[in-house]
Amino acid sequence: MPRAFRPFAIRDYRVLASALAISVFGHGLWAVAMVYQVKALGGGPVQLSVVATATSVGILAFVLLGGIVADRVPGRRILILVEITTLVTVATVATLALTGWLQLWQLAVAGFLLGSGAAFFFPAYSALLPRILPDDMLLAANGVEGTMRPVLQQAAGPAAAGALVAALSPGHAVAIMAVCHLAATWILTTLSREASGEVVDDGAPDDAAAAPPSARVALSGILADLREGVAYTAQTPWLKWTLLFAVVWVFLFIGPIEVLLPFAVADQLGGDARTFGFILAFFGAGGAIGSFTTASVRLPRRYLTLMITAWAIGGMPLAAVGILDAFWQMALVLFVVGLTGGMGQVLWGTMLQRRVPRHMLGRVSSLDFFVSLLLMPVSMAAAGPLGAVVPIGVVFLVAGLASPLIGLVAWIAADMARDEIANPLREPAIPAA
Per-residue pLDDT of the chain (433 residues; tens, 9 = 90+): 677 788 888 888 999 999 999 998 988 888 888 888 888 878 777 778 788 878 878 888 888 888 888 888 888 889 999 999 999 999 999 999 888 898 888 888 999 999 899 889 988 888 888 888 887 788 888 888 878 877 787 678 887 888 888 888 888 989 999 999 999 999 999 988 766 566 544 444 444 444 444 444 455 667 777 788 788 888 889 999 998 898 888 888 877 877 788 888 887 888 777 787 788 778 878 888 888 888 887 878 888 999 999 999 988 998 888 888 888 888 898 899 888 988 888 888 888 888 888 777 788 888 877 777 777 767 777 777 777 778 888 888 888 898 899 999 999 999 999 988 888 876 555 544 4
CA 4 to chain CA centroid, Å, is 20
- pLDDT for the residue 76: 84
- pLDDT for the residue 83: 93
Single pTM value for the model = 0.71
Tell me which of 1.10.10.10, 1.20.1250.20, 1.20.120.1200, 3.30.1180.10 is the CATH number of domain 12-422: 1.20.1250.20
- pLDDT for the residue 183: 94
Closest alpha carbon to 102 in 90, 84, 113: 90
What residue segments make up the domains of the chain, in order of their start? 12-422
- pLDDT for the residue 356: 83
Q: Are 321 and 383 in contact (CB under 8 A)?
A: no
Burial class of residue 247 in the structure, from the number of CB atoms within 10 Å of its CB (0-12 exposed, 13-18 middle, 19+ buried): middle
